[in-house]
């Protein structure tokens, strides 16, 4: 791989890209788990009352 | 987590002169290591016991949420500890491979990670479970990071005695998650872990004294010498062994717990006496360190098992 010119800024290595991708996936999974947790806890706390709302 | 503006100077506790303008090379595994998973497993276990033995009913989902928040809060405190102690960790064999001293992660990343999880776990526990438990978790994190890590650890040989309280809070937080209050039972569980911590850590510090001395951490064997440490280990074990039987006397543990706590306490005492009379080498200290982990695990496992058994019998009768 040729040396990047200064104009290119920071160029990630393949390993850095792989790690960044893995970190991104971990963050996405954590956020999805948090959404699921909030959903389930809402159902548990409100029970049938979750459907009881003014229309 | 990885974006740092060009030329930004984010010097960490390591005091490095390097300008951190490089992208992060930390892996997911490094972030998990920041949470101190082995410590976290003990926290989860003792907090679970607090949740299970607390009177009253808690919905399993709420119980799970409480446990998750306590685990994440404990992990966050561990991450903040690793951020602040990176300079010490770099000088100790046992901790030199941690993400920051090993150079795989910048201190700022650990700080951001620890703060985010600390605030998140406290807010979620406070809003989804109850405010008192959330406040107690916030105090636990504050105690571990500020009182123990930033203040006591580098300034007094009593660091792990007072700082041990941070590790003793989880069963109280677990109990508070169910009841929204504290009574004598969780305080007894707190005291058991509190008095267990000094003999446990000082047994380790006895044979790791060189490591601590090199890092400049004033552990008791470094400051007062091995003879005084051996004496103090025995004194704390003398307090711990009868205290561990207290749940049986007070009626919130059954006879099986009483027998296990008495026998295991006697073994702890016997090993502490061996440590006291040991003049050369650290065979007894290693034995005490290893057994102390089993001891605490046994106490809480039996409490948990008895409660589970009672629940089953309660349904059958």
Extents of the domains making up chain A: 14-41
Rg over CA atoms, chain A: 22
B182-189 long-range contacts, CB within 8 A, separation 24+: B184/B250, B185/B53, B185/B54, B185/B247, B185/B250, B185/B252, B186/B50, B186/B54, B188/B243, B188/B246, B188/B247, B188/B250, B188/B252, B189/B46, B189/B49, B189/B50, B189/B247
Concatenated DSSP letters of B233-276 = HHHHHHHHHHHHHHHHHTTSS-HHHHHHHHHHHHHHHHHHHHHH
**Which position has the token pair 């508070």?**
B176
Select from B3, B8, B27, B72 the residue whose CB has the most chain A CBs within 10 Å, as the one to mutate to test that interface. B27
Read off the pLDDT of each residue in B124-129 and give the average, rounded to a whole number. 96
Position A7 confidence tier, pLDDT thresholds 50, 70, 90: low
Q: Is the confidence at residue B10, as pLDDT, over 50?
A: no
The better pLDDT of the pair B22, A45 is held by A45
Closest Cα in chain A, distance from residue B28 (Å):
6
Q: Is the confidence at residue B289, as pLDDT, over 50?
A: yes
Which range of B13-17, B62-66, B306-310 scores highest in mean pLDDT? It is: B62-66
Q: Give the model's pLDDT for residue A3.
A: 59
Task: Determine, for residues A20 and B6 on separate chains, whether the beta-carbon distance falls below 8 Å.
Answer: no
Task: Determine, for residues A19 and B62 on separate chains, whether the beta-carbon distance falls below 8 Å.
Answer: no
Query: What pLDDT, in 10s, does the model give residues A25-41?
Result: 999 999 999 999 999 99
Q: Give the model's pLDDT for residue B4.
A: 41
Spatial neighbors of B295 by CB under 8 A, at least 6 apart, are B196, B264, B265, B267, B268
Task: Tell me how far apart the alpha carbons of residues B280 and B86 are, in angstroms, rounded to a whole number.
Answer: 33
Closest Cα in chain A, distance from residue B148 (Å):
29
Query: What pLDDT, in 10s, does the model give residues B170-223?
Result: 999 999 999 999 999 999 999 999 999 999 999 999 998 888 888 888 989 999
Q: Is the confidence at residue B310, as pLDDT, over 70?
A: yes
Query: What pLDDT, in 10s, does the model give residues B75-116?
Result: 999 999 999 999 999 998 888 999 999 999 999 999 999 999
Q: Encoding tokens for residue B296?
A: 């605490």
The better pLDDT of the pair B198, B315 is held by B198
Instruction: Calculate what percentage of chain B has a pLDDT beyond 70.
Output: 93
Task: Determine, for residues B24 and A16 on separate chains, whether the beta-carbon distance falls below 8 Å.
Answer: yes
Read off the pLDDT of each residue in B10-27 and give the average, rounded to a whole number. 60
**CB proximity under 8 Å: A 1-55 to B:** 9-10, 12, 15-16, 19-20, 22-23, 26, 37-38, 40-41, 44-45
Closest of B278, B267, B271 to residue B227, by C-alpha: B278
Phi/psi for A12 (5° steps) reads: -75, 140
Q: Give the model's pLDDT for residue B8.
A: 42
Q: Give the model's pLDDT for residue B7.
A: 39
Q: Give the model's pLDDT for residue B314.
A: 76
Query: What pLDDT, in 10s, does the model give residues B42-52?
Result: 999 999 999 99
The fold of B28-182 is: Tetracycline Repressor; domain 2 (1.10.357)
B5 burial level (CB within 10 Å; 0-12, 13-18, 19+) = exposed
Q: Give the model's pLDDT for residue B11.
A: 47
Q: Is the confidence at residue B59, as pLDDT, over 80?
A: yes
**CB proximity under 8 Å: B 218-277 to A:** none
Task: Tell me the whole-structure pTM to 2 decimals.
Answer: 0.86
Spatial neighbors of B182 by CB under 8 A, at least 6 apart, are B172, B175, B176
Phi/psi for B137 (5° steps) reads: -65, -40
Task: Tell me how far apart the alpha carbons of residues B152 and B218 are, in angstroms, rounded to a whole number.
Answer: 9
Would you kindly state where each structural domain of chain B is located, as residue ranges?
28-182, 207-310
Q: Is the confidence at residue B238, as pLDDT, over 70?
A: yes
Mean residue pLDDT across chain B: 90
Task: Tell me how far apart the alpha carbons of residues B209 and B225 are, in angstroms, rounded to a whole number.
Answer: 9
B101 and B14 Cβ atoms separated by less than 8 Å? yes
Spatial neighbors of B10 by CB under 8 A, at least 6 apart, are B4, B20, B106, B107, B108
Q: Give the model's pLDDT for residue A55.
A: 67
Q: Give the model's pLDDT for residue B123.
A: 97
Q: Give the model's pLDDT for residue B235.
A: 97
Question: Which value does ipTM take for this structure?
Answer: 0.79
Position B309 confidence tier, pLDDT thresholds 50, 70, 90: confident
The better pLDDT of the pair B8, B277 is held by B277
Q: Helices B184-207 and B255-277: crossing angle, nearest 10°?
A: 30
Read off the pLDDT of each residue in B64-76 and give the average, rounded to a whole number. 97
Residue in chain B lying closest to A37 (CA): B65
Spatial neighbors of B151 by CB under 8 A, at least 6 apart, are none
């Amino acid at each position: 791989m040729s040396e990047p010119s200064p104009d290119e800024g920071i160029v990630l290595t393949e390993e850095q890209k792989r790690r960044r991708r893995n970190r991104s996936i971990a963050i996405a999974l954590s956020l999805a788990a948090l959404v699921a947790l909030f959903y389930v806890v809402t159902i548990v706390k409100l029970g049938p009352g979750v459907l009881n709302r003014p229309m | 987590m990885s974006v740092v503006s060009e030329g930004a100077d984010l010097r960490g506790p390591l005091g490095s002169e390097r300008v951190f303008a490089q992208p992060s090379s930390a892996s997911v595994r490094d972030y998990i290591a920041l949470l101190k998973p082995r410590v976290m497993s003990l926290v989860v276990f003792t907090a679970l016991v607090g949740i299970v033995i607390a009177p009253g009913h808690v919905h399993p989902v709420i119980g799970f949420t409480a446990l998750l928040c306590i685990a994440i809060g404990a992990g966050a405190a561990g991450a903040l500890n690793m951020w602040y102690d990176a300079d010490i960790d770099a000088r100790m064999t046992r901790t030199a491979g941690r993400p920051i001293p090993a150079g795989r992660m910048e201190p700022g990343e650990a700080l951001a990670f620890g703060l985010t999880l600390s605030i998140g776990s406290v807010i979620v526990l406070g809003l989804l479970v109850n405010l008192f438990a959330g406040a107690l978790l916030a105090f636990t994190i504050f105690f571990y990071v500020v009182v123990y890590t930033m203040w006591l650890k580098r300034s007094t040989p009593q660091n792990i005695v007072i700082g041990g309280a941070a590790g003793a809070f989880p069963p109280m937080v677990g109990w508070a998650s169910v009841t929204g209050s504290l009574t004598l039972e969780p305080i007894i569980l707190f005291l058991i872990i509190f008095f267990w911590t000094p003999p446990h850590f000082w047994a380790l510090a006895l044979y790791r004294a060189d490591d601590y001395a090199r890092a400049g951490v004033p552990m008791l064997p470094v400051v007062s010498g091995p003879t005084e440490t051996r004496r103090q280990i025995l004194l704390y074990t003398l307090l711990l062994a009868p205290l561990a039987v207290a749940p049986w006397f007070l009626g919130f543990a059954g006879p099986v717990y009483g027998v296990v706590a008495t026998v295991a306490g006697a073994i702890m005492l016997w090993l502490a006496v061996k440590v006291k009379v040991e003049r050369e080498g650290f065979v007894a200290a290693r034995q005490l360190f290893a057994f102390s982990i089993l001891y605490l695990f046994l106490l809480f496992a039996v409490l948990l098992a008895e409660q589970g058994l009672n629940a089953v019998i309660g349904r059958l009768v």
